[in-house]
Amino acid sequence: MEKRLPLKVKLCYSVGSMGKVVQGLAASTFLLYFYTEILGIHSGIAASIIFFCKLFDIINDPLIGALVDRNKSKEGKCRAYLKYFAIPTGVCIFLCFFVPFEGAVLQIAYIIITYSILATISSFIQIPMNTLMGRMSQDEQQRSHLNQLSGIVSLIGNYVVVSWTFPVAAFSGNSNLRKGFLFVGLFYGMVYAASYMVTYFGTKGYEIVENSLVSGESKKASGVSLKETVRGLLANKVWLCIGLYYLFDMIASTLESTAMVFYFQYNFKDTGLLSTYSLIAMICSFLIFCSLHLYTKRLGNAGTTLLGCCLSISGDVLRLILHDSCMGVLYAGWILSGIGSSLVAGTVLLNLFDAKLYGEWKYGVKCDAVLMSGFTLATKIGMAVGSAAVGWFLLLVPYTEGAAVQPQSVLNLLFLLNTALPAGAFLLVLLLAIPVYKNEKKLPEMKKELEEIKHESI
């Protein structure tokens, strides 16, 4: 039986999730708002910058995954990247909010450069971080504990970022939001760097470090070319379904969270609702993450994902039909969608580990970091599309950046971006999760066959 991970090690690993949330929300929910409402950049231009900078990750992330898989550092394949890239990425987060120029042309050029660097360099953290979980333990229960704790830390980070960004920006900038967001960017950059350094130091000695002179499995993995690896991954239908459904999940959540800032400002005239929303979402998600093992034990990983999709769709459809007619409807919709999205988010990595098993059983491909690069790629592209889509949709209506009041067509669009579109995206998640659910039923047989093969090779 595999040795259990100490609680302090699990906590140190989970702290890294704080950095992930900070960078994710800062680079999606608030950067578009900062670019358009604070700097006055046209929404279509700002949205396109975010989108096209992220498109490069389609090539970038699998290559970084391959580099991680082939890393032979004595500190481990993953931990070494946390050590060298945590602080530079934190600096990039700060630079995205530090725009020293006044002219539109110079501002746009600066934004393209800083955002492109952030999009690329963050992959050197996210891919190793996601891969590290599977390299710290092969035991499903230990991985589930790591996943649960990471989810809880993410909730705290989500609440802090969503609830405190505007108050902190207003206070630190003395009502000058541009100056205030500069302090916000500095704070987020420091939190990002510190959280991943805690993970680096706290997991020392717990990542598997292969001895290339002894480990035949390591030699085998190193001998597989990147082309063969990618071919095997693209043939892994389970991995593809998970990557696609998580892509739509991220599009839905990012679309809603980005549009929510505008929705509360213009439809409700109260950005303070962000704090209420964040509190409700945190409570719902906390309860789910604490009891996630009960759902996965009863329904399985993919079965829990399907349940989450149904609840998320129900929450958005409820708000759509009743048109957010009162705060009770708004809160009920948030609770349902919050529980549902937490079930989906809490099982995606668990489903990916199952996809890894399927790929090893079906095609003999076992390259953890390249496989996890699909998860990171889906996260970043989903955030890019979700954020950019808000800016592009605003081009279809007479939206005016920084205006005190917007036309009714803009208000209607913002409502749909918070209800109908997320519901449609989660419907696609549901359809893509069905094949994953069917594959899950065959996992015990796959595990048995792989164990037999390992015993025969000894």
Task: For the chain, give the percent of residues with pLDDT over 70.
Answer: 92
- Confidence category of residue 221, pLDDT binned at 50, 70, 90: very low
Residue 320 to residues 233, 317, 419, Cα–Cα distance (Å) = 38, 5, 6
Task: Give the 3-state secondary structure of residue 81.
Answer: helix
178-186 own/partner pairs: CB under 8 Å, 24+ apart: 178/38, 178/39, 181/30, 181/34, 181/38, 181/97, 182/97, 182/98, 184/30, 184/97, 185/26, 185/93, 185/94, 185/95, 185/96, 185/97, 185/98, 186/94, 186/97
At residue 225, the pLDDT reads: 59
Is the per-residue pLDDT at 212 higher than 60?
Answer: no
Cβ neighbours for 255, distance < 8 A, ≥ 6 positions apart: 385, 386, 387, 389, 390, 417, 421, 422, 425
Quickly list H helices, 291-326: 292-299, 301-322
Q: Give the residue-averaged pLDDT of 208-222.
A: 51
Q: How many residues does the chain have?
A: 458
pLDDT at 216 > cutoff 70: no
pLDDT of residue 191: 94
142 or 232: which leads in pLDDT: 142
- For residue 25, give the nearest of 186, 160, 167 by alpha carbon: 160
Q: Rounded to an integer, what distance in angstroms lies between the CA atom of residue 337 and that of residue 269?
A: 23
What is the chain's mean pLDDT, rounded? 86
Q: Is the pLDDT of residue 365 over 80?
A: no
| Structure-block tokens of residue 158 | 């989500």
**Residue of 276, 270, 268, 274 lying closest to 331 (CA atoms):** 276
Which two tokens mark 63? 């290559």
Q: What domains lie within the chain, and their CATH numbers?
A: 11-207+214-457 (1.20.1250.20)
* Cα–Cα dist 46/36, whole Å: 7
Most confident of 142-156, 326-340, 378-392, 436-450: 326-340
Is 309 within 8 Å of 342 (Cβ atoms)? no
Encode pLDDT of 395-413 as tens digits: 899 998 878 899 999 999 9
The single-letter code of the amino acid at 419 is: T
Retrieve residue 274's tokens.
Answer: 């962000």
Q: Is the pLDDT of residue 458 over 70?
A: no
pTM (predicted TM-score)? 0.76
CA 229/CA 369 separation, integer angstroms: 11
Q: Sign of dihedral through CA atoms 282, 285, 286, 287?
A: positive
**pLDDT, position 209:** 75
- CA separation for the pair 264, 414 (Å, rounded): 9
pLDDT for residue 359 is more than 60: yes
Mean pLDDT on 54-76: 80
Q: For residue 218, is pLDDT > 60?
A: no
Supply 297's token pair.
């034990």
Token representation of residue 188: 């987020």
Six-digit token string for 255:
């679309």
Band of pLDDT at residue 9, cut at 50, 70 and 90: very high
Rounded Cα gap, residues 32 and 39, in angstroms: 10
CA atoms within 13 A on the CB side of 193: 15
Confidence at residue 121, expressed as pLDDT on a 0 to 100 scale: 92
